[in-house]
Amino acid sequence: MYEELLELLEKRFSKGEIDKGNYEELKERYLQKLDTAKVNRELHKEASQIYTSGVKVATDKSLSVAGSTKITGGHVGKDIRIAGSGKIDDDVECNNLKSAGSLKSNGSITAHGDINTAGSFKCAGFLHGDLDAKFAGSAKVGLETILQGRIVAAGSFSTGGFLQAESGAKFSGSAKIEGNLLSKGVVEAAGRIVVDGDLVGDDVLINKGRDFLSLRFRNLKKSVISGHLLGTGEVYLANTLVEGDVKGLKVEIGAFTQVEGTVYYVDYIDVDKKARLESEPIKISHEKLRL
């Protein structure tokens, strides 16, 4: 996982998508994580033990359990499917992961496939996935979340570190990211999203399609981006506070949005009369469309 991230980081730096300071900081962090991951892999190569009070069906490709289930952690070289109440005691590595009901992990989860949960999902460590992740209900990750695919979260989602979803992100409800949110795909949020760092995506759309009256009279809390916001395509913001700069190819600042930094645009700018900008928007060249 971190080998791929380091390779991707090098490509982004060579293309000028991130500056030298961010590049060096991320590279050091990924190298440290890579060393830790290698140690953890050695510690958890032994087969996992599964205990259940319900029904367990095991095949060469999958492990399906229904009822109350406990997994000791370690390496599970197949899909994990849990219906009911599941608990994972330590770090676990599997192929696809699917749960319906309640799933709690006291360690980290590495899934070499899709992650799909419905109900309550808690992961105390990091969450890594080689493909997509879909959460319906409540999902909480203690450390960073790194996905090679796309994340879709309906309900409540939070991660205690940065979130990287290469193919895009879609949130409906509430989302809290305690770090940067980075993606090469479209980032959409319908509801409230809080990012304690920078937000980078292709199109970045926050509350697009929400009508003026629903924003005004429902007194919804603003989405908050503590760092800078970069959209390499379209940027649309409504009912949002951005404490840093906003950059986009085409930028629309919708109602009840406040930008404390500067808005930079390449092709197009539109500012709603109910929005507040601390400074005048600045037109830039496409070459300067980066953090």
182 within some domain: yes
200 within some domain: yes
Question: pTM, whole model, 2 decimals?
Answer: 0.81
Residues 233 and 230: their CA atoms lie apart, in Å, by 9
Instruction: Tell me what the mean pLDDT of segment 17-29 comes to.
Output: 71
Highest mean pLDDT among 14-18, 214-218, 254-258: 254-258
The string over 73-111, giving b where at least 16 C-beta atoms fall within 10 Å of a residue's C-beta and e elsewhere, is bbbbebbbbbbbbbbbbbbbbbbbbbbbbbbbbbbbbbb
50 within some domain: no
pLDDT band at 153 (very low <50, low <70, confident <90, very high): very high
Average pLDDT, the chain: 87
Instruction: Tell me what the mean pLDDT of segment 147-158 comes to.
Output: 96
Task: Tell the residue number behind the tokens 């952690």, with chain if given.
Answer: 73
Residue 39 has pLDDT above 60, yes or no: no
186 within some domain: yes
156 within some domain: no
Name the domain count of the chain: 2
Q: Which residues contact 39 (CB under 8 A, 6 or more apart)?
A: none
The number of helices, as runs of H, and strands, as runs of E, in the chain is 3, 27
Per-residue pLDDT reduced to its tens digit, 197-238? 999 999 999 998 765 555 554 557 899 999 999 999 999 999
19 within some domain: yes
167 within some domain: no
Contact at 8 Å (CB) between 171 and 194?
no
Residue 183 has pLDDT above 70, yes or no: yes
| pLDDT above 90 coverage of the chain, percent | 64
109 within some domain: no
Q: How far is CA 247 from the centre of its chain?
A: 20
Domain that holds residue 201: 175-291
Residues 91 and 222: their CA atoms lie apart, in Å, by 36
